[in-house]
Amino acid sequence: MSAGILGLVAAYILIAMLLLSLNLTSLWRWWVKAAAIVITTVFFAITYQAIHGLLGWPTMQSMPAQFSLVWAVVNEPNRLTQAPGSIYLWADAMDANNVPSGRPRSYELPYTEALARKVAAAQEKREQGHEVMGLRRDGKPPPNMQPATNIKMGQNQTNKTAQQNPAADTVPFMEDGTNLGFQDMPPVVLPDKGPL
């Protein structure tokens, strides 16, 4: 147990002891004493549920704008248990010089098939020993990935030279994973060296 959790437990024991001493010596009506005990017990339960964020459970906050992918786990939806599925990323935020902070954090993302494919490909690179950088684009696809407007449902499109267009599978669609992309880790940006 960490010192923070031990301190929190000690604080709640102190509050429970103060409540008990007030209830034993006070002349309050019995329903006031009972209400104080119930309210305190409810707050113990609420705090126990809320403390998971301090214990290292994944956060559902937005990802950093650019991060180093440390590891990823994809839990697919389970039809038997009706579990919706989740994608867990352990990411290390990077600064403008492409230097990781050294303090990775766990993130939980909702499962989508497209995001699962992206994460699986990034994790495969990671397992082969390559450093992978993730980018959050705030919902805007990069300039070279703008969806085409002339693509029709289910038809392969060809360009003017009759060669098959590789990006013309079906109508492009937006999903939860469109604003998250992965690429090889760029080199660290070193500061300019002055004259010696």
| Mean pLDDT in residue range 121-134 | 93
**pLDDT above 90: percentage of residues in the chain:** 23
196 Cβ contact list (under 8 Å, min separation 6): none
Q: Measuring CA to CA, which residue among 22, 78, 12, 83 is closest to residue 50?
A: 12
| Mean pLDDT in residue range 1-6 | 67
Alpha helices per DSSP H over 30-164: 30-50, 113-127
The pLDDT assigned to 4 comes to 67
Run of H or E including 142? none
Per-residue pLDDT tens over the stretch 4-26: 677 777 888 888 888 888 788 88
Q: Is the pLDDT of residue 154 over 70?
A: no
Give the lowest-confidence range in 9-13, 62-66, 117-121: 9-13
| Mean pLDDT in residue range 84-102 | 89
CA atoms within 13 A on the CB side of 49: 5
Alpha-carbon distance of 86 to 195, in angstroms, equals 52
| Mean pLDDT in residue range 114-133 | 93
**Residue located via tokens 């495969």:** 124
**DSSP 3-state of 182:** strand
